[in-house]
Chains A and B, each alone.
Chain A
Amino acid sequence: MSKPILLSLHQGLRKSFQSLENNQKVWESVLADCIPLMVSLGNLAEQSRALSNIQISNTPLRDFPDLEERLRFKLQLSTDTVLEKLNLNMSSLQSVRDSVTNQVSAVVQLYEQNADSLDLLTVTERSSTGPSVSDMLEWLVNAERHFRQQYLRRKTLLQTLRPDDLSLLESAPKRWKSLESPSAEDEIRDTLCKVHFFIESQ
């Protein structure tokens, strides 16, 4: 009797991994798009810092009226543009996270609903072409957690930026980079390799 349930669970897992694969690609490309934006954000912060360090009235540029205000306005405008683009990227990251979370929670729910009819022997059984259900669920949950945490951290970083705190803006690219966790990304790629035969085997 556990056979049809197992089959439907396998089907759900297959679907989740497929969507995970697509989402992973989107995620990576979006993150790659973010890097130049973060660099320019840091540059802009540096320029603002330079602007506040300098006394324009002591330089030959003093003849230009309102130069400092104009420059500051310009810098702020470009900072806004960069942040807007970053926010757009964040929303695509969010959609990746949402889709992964929904997929994974659907599979976990499917398992939980039928947990009574699936004994542990069945869920830990492996074959040469397919990992066991418990392994696959574990990987999915891990990947989901990774996306969730990454998104949350990056979002917090961007949301706590303030135009008046230059040191925060300056350190943003560095902190953004430190959020990367190549090991987790590798793990997801590994996972996708491991389930490759399983996905193909339908």
Chain B
Amino acid sequence: MGFFQKPFGNEPILTKDDLKQVVKKKKGPRAADWKSTLLRLWKIVDEQRALLIVVLLLVMISSILALVGPYLIGQMIDNYVMHGELTGLGKGIVLLIGINVLLAVSLFLQNYWMIGIAQQTIYRLRTSVFTHFQRLPIAFFDRRQHGELMSRMTNDIEAVNSTLNSSFIQVFSSVLTLGGTIIIMLSLSPLLTVLTMTIIPIMFWAMRWITRRTAPLFKEQQAAIGALNGMIEETISGQRIVKAFSQEERMKVEFREKSLRLRRTGFWAQTYSGYIPKVMNFLNNMSFTIVAGIGGMLALYGHVSIGVIVIFTEYARQFTRPLNDLANQFNTVLSAIAGAERVFALLDEQPEVETATTQKHHLLGQVAFKHVYFKYEQEEETYTLKNVNFKVEPGQTVALVGATGAGKTTILQLIARFYEVNKGEVLFDGVNVQQMDRQSLRSQMAFVLQDPFLFEASVRENIRYGRLDASDEEIEGAAKRANAHDFIMKLKDGYNTVLAADGREISQGQKQLLSIARALIADPKILLLDEATSSIDTVTEMAIQEALDTLMQGRTSFVIAHRLNTVHNADMVLVMHKGELVEAGPQQKLIESGGLYAQMLHSSSHHLEE
């Protein structure tokens, strides 16, 4: 028996205690979970009701035809074949040919349309997850591995996909066939029918035993694939580091661990679900035997004709086949549920807080923070921002300075409303940001991020990202002002060069130039520059400074820069220290007051004089 518990060294994943818990849970919300998951899936499928009804009708037709065929053959054997009567048989055969043509056509059509329905459902599921992604708060993405999220979109939806393709028709036709077969069997011989049905309770018991194990295993399996996907994405994206630190071997070991987890869950899930057809087969054979043995005896005493027995055995198998199919489908449905649950879990994530109004608010550009407290994780004890207060008038340029980790980027992210404040208010023109429509707000802002990101698209498209209706001339104009034009022209296809996924054709500094061009084209009311020029050499920086200055004119601008010369023409300097705003005011005033800013300035020039 040892082999059955730890075959090939595969330790069982479900212990007896685990199973007990599963059973307990099953009585509670578990069953409801399944139901609601299936129901939600059904809602998407149901969007194509008209086509679905057609498919169901076709399934009905083909199920009936499939039942009529063998019945007719049975009749023909009894009536014509046994007596060698060819004319009757000829008519029967013509009828059967007709039936078979109809059967083939209806089978083809139902599958043809069902594929359409299934793929449309999958497509809807995918796009709704993606659209939902766009509405989720940044904080959601901070906590999750990209690869894991990607797995939900591919591997989990794939599990739903393969089920939808086959199961729907299967389940429906199985139920129909089952019903039909029982009726015909009853009409042939009620006694034999009852005998055949004796296997049903055994079947239910067996199914319960198996699904109690497979359901949690499938879930675990999808989770294991997700974790594996997460790791793959990270290691391949970070391949340069892996190589630089020659950690390939360790990565391989780590991969094996995750891969092994998948193998173990996969093994058990497959083994248990592999039982289903075997049990069904066994029960199938049993019923065959029952019908053959007892039917034979009945025939002996003349209760039934031989023809009836022949046909009945066929029906007995027809009876178990849909049951068998149902059982098999049940299992794939379980794996689909495991996948669907994970997909719906994403859809259930709370989207960014919606505001009551969708009215477009035309910003004048005044920005104020009032007693703002903020932390990234609710569990954290300390706040990243503590009681931050400031007010910036329209058109002013604000420089944020302070040590790394002081909270400068956080302030910009709050202005862009990537996160919601914990306490206090962020105000635009005196209106709380939470009272404003996020879309309208962001449409009037441009953000140049610390890590420039370029899409796998042409240079032109990457700049156009700032404003989708920008003309080619405008794009070139922006690129020229951002000092990017020259290097772009040196690329293989100029503005049409498609940047590779890792953007290796261009340097980090050039990426920053492109993202500045992107901001230049956006024409925002409020401009947020987070270390926008950190990787750009200072000579180039000087060249684009003018462009940035023009850009900042008439717009409220927030600039983070460590090179203090970027700061010099700011109207206001905000000095951050450990999440607190310690000084604020025009540069000259801060220098005179001799506070932290003056010290910082001093230390950098002091260094210079060394």
Question: Is chain B found bound to chain A in the same assembly?
Answer: no
Which residues of A are interface residues toward B (Cβ below 8 A)? none
